[in-house]
Amino acid sequence: MIRVLSVVSEMFPVVKTGGLGDVAGALPAALAAAGAETTTMLPGYPAVIAALTDATAAHEFADLFGGPATVLRGSAAGLDVLVVDAPHLYARAGNPYLGADGREWADNGLRFAGLGAAGAAMAAGVAPGHDFDIVHAHDWQAAMAIVYLNFHPGERPGTVLTVHNLAFQGLYPAALFPRLGLPESAFSLNGLEYHGKVNFLKGGLSYADRITTVSPTYAQEIMGVENGMGLDGILRHRADVLSGIMNGIDDTIWNPATDPLIPGRFGRGKMARRALNKAALQQRMGLDQNPDALLIGLVTRMTTQKGLDMLVDLLDDLAADGIQLALLGAGDPDLEHAFVAAAEWNLGSVGCVIGYDETLAHLIEAGSDAFLAPSRFEPCGLTQLYALRYGAVPVVSRVGGLADSVIDANQAALAAGVATGIQFWPATPEALQSALHRLMALWRDKQAWERMQRNGMAADVSWRGPASRYVALYKSLLAERG
Ligand code: ADP
């Protein structure tokens, strides 16, 4: 078994703000089946400490960026974890990254340098009996583990950095650098210096042995200026170690045949029961109880990345066409207000719940006829994978992992009987509108519609394939390092 230390800032079901948490929670079991055992290192937020069982102290830091810290070994949600118990950094209620005012915690630089430093120390063998072959760091919050390991004088494990979203980089004033305890050479073009600032993600990208991102198309896109978020240069420079591995979904949690969060459990052989979920969703969202209305669902962070501003202007037209919309999301206050207003204006046709609600997210996937993800960019996207699994026909922009996971219902795909949804491009209101017109035409053709639903539900969106690709990557890295 390959021994992996996964360093990450969230893990479902203990703490989750998005897809990163889903991946961190689901990948260990899939990797175990494919030949790698994972220990997950997490910051000791209150929710993590509360979920921790069988804890023993593995290592003490007298001072981890401003206070003492203990690395606790134990389990959480059935997974092996190392928890960085550093109250001065993590003992705060609420969101892992944001204060109650919705702004980043002012000391996030130190908080996630702390996670990285603790991860690097454990990986470098500071605590006897904890040995790892690979450190797998996720996103900017964990990238510093790779930076610290790069400057570790002795033996070190191989390092893999997975980019879940290049838009978030961990960018801080140069004044942070002297506090990080790194050699001067780290603050350079080939290190974590970025236009005179400290960029955690760039540090990880500079020093990782392997870089992955969460879909093959996004791996290509981020090497270009348009989607490189200012890091396309370093990504092109490291193209030989960059690859894309699509995310999977946890099909024990997202399984329509066994899902305890939906009223009508169903499968490809029992599709009629799906109507129970549609009726329940219509009721929950205040939509007219009409089984024949085309009901489109969305579950999303409400940001410009997710393209929701394009949808706002179309809502009145959609309602006039008899289409229903069920949206669950939270984020940008302006977008939240616009959707709430549209829901009031289009009573019975547009339903909108602002907030975070795991149960409602399952009901939307299970009860909507179609599922919309009009992102401007999308590293992988999980919600369209859940939609495929739950028989909600995905309508997606042709970017990143959305492009890689949905087969567009064009003439050829329909003729061959392989379509699973609709793709549109560019990400503009006009293209979205014409995609929705195509969707309506397909909705009227029940045979074609059911074929798409069945194809989607049969698609393999599990972690099995992706996990074996990660293990192959670990093996090739270990072979190269000898
Ligand atoms: P991202 O990580 O960019 O937000 P993904 O599609 O990769 O997007 O993952 C989003 C995850 O978060 C999915 O599991 C989705 O169901 C969940 N999610 C997003 N918003 C909400 C919400 N308001 N309530 C419940 N779950 C949500």
* pLDDT for 244: 98
Q: Does residue 199 share a domain with residue 182?
A: yes
Ligand 1 and 299: CB distance under 6 A: yes
Whether 326 shows a pLDDT value over 90: the answer reads yes
Same domain, 468 and 434: no
Q: How far apart are the first and last CA of the chain?
A: 16
The answer on 182 and 312 residing in a single domain is no
pLDDT higher than 90, residue 455: yes
Residue identifier of the C-alpha nearest atom 17 of ligand 1: 18
150 CB under 6 A from ligand 1? no
DSSP-assigned letters across all residues of 61-76: ES-SSSS-EEEEEEEE
Using the mean position of ligand 1's atoms as its centre, give its distance from the Cα of residue 442 in Å.
27
Q: Ligand 1 center to residue 367 CA distance, Å?
A: 17
Spatial distance between the Cα atoms of 408 and 419, rounded to a whole number of angstroms: 6
- pLDDT band of 224, cuts 50, 70, 90: very high
Alpha-carbon gap, residue 254 to 424, rounded angstroms: 26
Residue 100 confidence (pLDDT) = 86
Q: What does the buried/exposed string (b/e) look like for 59-77 if buried means 16 or more CB atoms within 10 Å of the residue's CB? A: bebeebbeeebbbbbbebe
Co-location of 413 and 475 in the same domain: no
- Asked if residue 181 and residue 284 are part of one domain, the reply reads no
pLDDT tens, position by position, 338-396: 999 999 999 999 999 999 999 999 999 999 999 999 999 999 999 999 999 999 999 99
- Per-residue pLDDT for 79 more than 90? yes
Q: Is residue 263 part of a domain?
A: no
338 C-alpha to ligand 1 centroid (Å)? 20
Task: Tell which wins on pLDDT, 93 or 288.
Answer: 288
Distance 406 CA to ligand 1 centre (A): 18
Q: Are residues 72 and 103 in the same domain?
A: yes
- pLDDT tier at 101 (50, 70, 90 boundaries)? confident
| pTM score, whole prediction | 0.95
Span 60-76, pLDDT tens digits: 999 999 999 999 999 99
pLDDT of residue 277: 98
Q: Is residue 253 part of a domain?
A: no
- 428 lies in a domain? yes
Residue 256 lies in a domain: no
Q: Is 120 exposed, middle or buried (0-12, 13-18, 19+ CB in 10 A)?
A: buried
**Residue 107 domain boundaries:** 2-248+464-481
Assess if residue 266 is contained within a domain.
Answer: no
Q: With respect to residue 209, please indicate whether it lies within any of the assigned structural domains.
A: yes
pLDDT at site 141: 98
CA distances from 209 to 125, 185, 335 (A): 19, 18, 40
Residue 8 pLDDT level (bands cut at 50, 70, 90): very high
Task: Tell me, yes or no, whether 315 and 397 share the same domain.
Answer: yes
Asked whether residue 445 falls in the same domain as residue 476, the answer is no
Per residue in 9-31, pLDDT (tens digit) is 999 999 999 899 999 999 999 99
**Domain count for the chain:** 2
> The domain that contains 379 carries what CATH number?
3.40.50.2000
In a domain, 259, yes or no: no
What percent of the chain has pLDDT above 70?
100
Q: Ligand 1 centroid vs 336 CA: distance in angstroms?
A: 16
Q: Same domain for 425 and 470?
A: no
- pLDDT for residue 77: 97
193 lines ligand 1 (CB under 6 A): no
Could you tell me if 470 and 447 lie in one domain?
Answer: no
Q: Which of 300, 302, 389, 406 to mutate to test the pocket of ligand 1 (most atoms within 8 A of CB)?
A: 300
Using CA atoms, how far apart are residues 213 and 200, in angstroms rounded to an integer? 16
Ligand 1 atom nearest to 328, measured from its CA: 23
* Ligand 1 pocket: which of 27, 299, 389 to mutate (most atoms within 8 A of CB): 299
Is the pLDDT assigned to residue 41 strictly greater than 90? yes
Mean pLDDT of the chain: 97
261 domain residue, yes or no: no
**Is 144's C-beta closer than 6 angstroms to any atom of ligand 1?**
no
Are residues 428 and 291 both part of a single domain?
yes
Q: Please answer whether residues 74 and 54 qualify as being in contact, where contact means their C-beta atoms are separated by less than 8 angstroms.
A: yes
Ligand 1 pocket, 19 CB below 6 A? yes
pLDDT at 482: 84
Is 18's C-beta closer than 6 angstroms to any atom of ligand 1? yes
Structure tokens at 68: 């003492």
- Closest-CA residue, ligand 1 atom 26, reads 358
- C-alpha of residue 358 to centroid of ligand 1, in Å: 9
Q: Is 381 in the pocket of ligand 1 (CB under 6 A)?
A: yes
- Helices 200-207 and 139-150 cross at an angle (nearest 10°) of 50
Residue 137: pLDDT above 90?
A: yes
How far, in Å, is the centroid of ligand 1 from the Cα of 19?
Answer: 6
Asked whether the predicted pLDDT for residue 228 surpasses 90, the reply is: yes
Reply yes or no on whether the pLDDT at 171 is more than 90. Answer: yes
Ligand 1 atom closest to the Cα of residue 384 is 6
Nearest residue by C-alpha to atom 19 in ligand 1: 300
How does pLDDT run across 403-415, given as a tens digit for each residue? Answer: 999 999 999 999 9
Q: What is the pLDDT of residue 94?
A: 84
With a 6 Å cutoff on the Cβ, whether 191 touches ligand 1 is no
Return the closest-CA partner of residue 471 out of 37, 8, 24.
37
Contacts of 26 (CB under 8 A, 6+ apart): 12, 248, 249, 250, 253, 463
Distance 371 CA to ligand 1 centre (A): 13
| E strand segments, 62-127 | 69-76, 79-85
Write down the pLDDT at residue 338: 97
Q: Is there a single domain that holds both residue 296 and residue 315?
A: yes
pLDDT-based confidence at residue 139 (cuts at 50, 70, 90): very high
DSSP β-bridge partners for residue 316: none
**How confident is the model at residue 55, as a pLDDT?**
98
